[in-house]
């Protein structure tokens, strides 16, 4: 059984990673968003939730902050 969550250890490899959704944009409004997450797993989960809500409004995710 993996008990790393009890000792406060988490995967540090995703720190600063740009979030790019795989889901298709149904109504593209021509706008892009860039989300970079740090911290615990809940921060990454929150970033995915925010990106999904904005994607439903026509935003496309990008891994290049200059495009956003």
pLDDT for res 28 = 74
pLDDT in tens, 36-52: 988 888 888 899 899 98
Q: Is residue 28 situated within a structural domain? A: yes
Low-confidence ranges of the chain (pLDDT < 50): none
Residue 37 structural domain: 14-61
Reported pTM? 0.65
pLDDT for res 56 = 85
Q: Is residue 4 situated within a structural domain? A: no
pLDDT for res 18 = 77
pLDDT for res 58 = 86
Overall domain count for the chain: 1
d(CA 30, CA 8): 40
């Amino acid at each position: 059984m993996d008990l790393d969550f009890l000792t406060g250890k988490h995967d540090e490899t995703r720190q600063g990673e740009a979030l790019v959704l795989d889901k298709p944009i149904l109504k593209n409004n021509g706008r892009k968003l860039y989300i970079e997450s740090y911290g615990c797993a809940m921060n990454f989960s929150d970033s995915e939730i925010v990106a999904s809500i904005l994607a439903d409004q026509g935003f496309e995710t990008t891994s290049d902050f200059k495009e956003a």
